[in-house]
Structure 1
Amino acid sequence: MSLPPPEAAAAESTRASSWRAQRLLSSPHRLCFFWAGVQWAVSAGWWAAELLAGPRAGDSQHMVPSVAWHGLWFSLGTMPLFVAGFVFTAGPRWLHTIPIDTRQLRVGVGLFSAGWLLALPLAGVNARAVAAMLLAAAIGQSLLVERVLALLRTGRPGERVHVALITIAMAAMTLTLLAAALALATGCVEWLQPLAHAGLWCGPVLVFVAASHRMLPFLGDGLWPALDRGWPHWPLWLLVSLVPVQAVCALLPIMAPLPPWLRFVGFGHLAVVCVASAGLTLRWVGHPAMRTPMLRMLFGAALWWLLALLLLTAAAVPALSDESARRLELAGLHALGMGYLGGTLLTMATRVSAAHQGIARAIDGVARVLYVVLQTAVLARLCALLWPQAASVWLPAAAVAWSFVTAVWLLRHGRWLGQPPRVRSRLSQSPIIAAIEKR
């Protein structure tokens, strides 16, 4: 039997390793992460272009305000598919049940992605057309929620807590999308910004807190063993308690002024959670596990969680002026969204896509550079808020840096997601990293 010539064998090998859209259906994280990466890069590129272009004249009655659209897109456009890819990959392992068939996610992912991407060119033309696209995205998201519920029903009862919280968050994102579509359809565009803030807390923040408690050591148990015995998972429930309180504080002012007593309650609640989070997180300073690049990156993201809570607590001080409170609150929300959520997302999405691709060293030079640029983007954004005299420089710089991170991540990992896995050569790794992979 004659062997094929070397040129033919090389061509066949190239075809086998080439990017194919069909491979996105081989696992949930490939399909969801790819389209989430597209959303991430497009939304970041659009926002950078908006800031570099400067203010534009237009009929504001029919246009969607760009600032509100920017916040809504990050909270409810970029994050949901990353969340779906994660829960459909890790969820079956957590629940000890059968993995889901990726083909069952096609319609939901397709509707969600098409709704958001088609809404972009319409945002500067007609708000009601955008409302129709958000409705399509909400329907797509609801189909994904339905699949998570089916997964949850087949899981072990004692293992459902974290997946149940993530399911609630995904459902909350669906409801927030529906509310945003209704606000646009009825001309109540002033609701978009509060909905974006509430959606951020009820959706991505709830997901990341639940997943961090399940997988990562920084916000987990072990700080006070006596409290652990009397109140299992107390760090999880304490942090989760932020979600409804902050959502109410975001939505209530659009209907009526916040009563003074509620401001005091919000301030005290934030202060308690901030102190507890500091104790949970800072105990890891100097721990030998921090020599691992991935854990250092995740720890850096956890420090942004602390700073965000500190800024939000300062913003809630009842005696503070409205302008100072507004700036501190926005700084806290950006530290939360870009620093904590963005840093954790970049690290974990990089790890998941690289590990499933058979790449043993996920946190390489490129990943480190992207992480450093992301930190630079967060710092620049906070400087724009806390040093408003130089905002015209810091704000575009933050947007360009953020856009760079998203574009490079999509180009690199989007290519991997459509290629077959490589033959993996295992490297030695931290015991904590090994434990994270098993969780």
Structure 2
Amino acid sequence: MAIRGVKSFVTSVALTQIIGFASAAEYWQAFNSSINPLNITIPQIPQTTSIDPTTECTYYNPDPSLFNVVASEWPTSWDIATSNGMNTSAEFTAVYNSIDWANAPNISVRTLSADGSIDMTGYDTTNDPDCWWTSSTCTVPKLKDVNADIYECPEPETWGLTYDDGPNCSHNAFYDYLQQQNLKASMFYIGSNVLDWPYGAMRGVRDGHHISSHTWSHRMMTTLTNQELLAEFYYTQKAIHMATGLTPRYWRAPYGDVDDRVRWIATQLNLTSILWDYDTNDWAAPTTETVEQVQQSYDEFIQMGTNGSMSTHGNIVLTHEITNVTMSLALNNLPNIMKNYKHVVNVAVCSNISYPYMEKTVAFPAFAEYVSQNSSSGGAASSVLGSNTNGGVTATGNAATQTSASSDASILGAPSILFTSLLFLSSVIYF
């Protein structure tokens, strides 16, 4: 089947050597990718066409004309992003030195308790001077010139569709279903996952999803030093750009662990935090929570779409593509979500963010435009509007996307069948 194409790009030198910046916010302009995110071709190999999780999760070496991974240019996957000498690389040093650290907030690096939880000993949890979400769910910074968090959709009766921890290697059936239903989610990609499964990230953009950062190694961010935090942001941005041609302007803290020190560093890179106001706890199934308990959370949040709870605003719900269990739960619940909410959209659309990337290559419709375009679509999320910087090319997700990459697309109307397929490898976790 034909799939949207992508300009070949070579990343043997994954990044042009950075000499210096007038400001840290210019860092992304040095990323050396020739990809056209409006015209993506994903190689048709078994990992990109199958819906068998074992086949999908067989490691592949990406086509070097698309993504030539040179290990010396990247942190070690799943290790803190200063690993593999990246904290001393010329490119990272240039970015680090472009920030005026004298203005950084004097907020302590947090520590972990023996059980792996954040140690809050001695912290003023009553006043929460650092706007530490883990302590008080604070979302409005107490420092000036720091980007405030987005944590709910302002539009009534709207479900903010988000999925963390991708791109998961076994997400083909899940993405097929989203594509068939014309649902565009905010996908929070982990840099290590993008490096390991770049074709998955390409598909996220090709399908019109809103791609954001979820850090390199998924650590508790407030426990990292300033240098480590910058590296977690920077190398994730680099990986996403190299795989998609786009550099996100939005990010999500793993576990929601963000305070004003973390926000300040993110702001230097022109990154804004997107949190959530409802958590399904799907990530905990079937370990610390049962699937039935997670389903109860889904049911409660779905009912809010028709019981008046969302009459003045919408929500942003935390869900994941982290395992086949979480993706199966998503597939089983999406029909009822669409039935009970007037609108099911990504955060860019519900927050009227036209340009969620540093590049102006891709534009998303404002919420009113989405409503106009989808007045008879039964709540399916809007297609992404794409345009190049010269104004000569425009396309919508529907018009530009031809057919699914999966040869099993005929089953997409049956979430229960997909549930069975995904559960085949339910114990695999990529996070």
| TM-score greater than 0.5 by the shorter chain | no
- TM-score by structure 1 length? 0.30
- TM-score by structure 2 length? 0.31
Higher-strand-fraction structure: 2
Structure whose CA Rg is larger: 1
Higher-helix-fraction structure: 1
Name the structure, 1 or 2, with higher relative contact order (CA <8 Å, separation 6+): 2
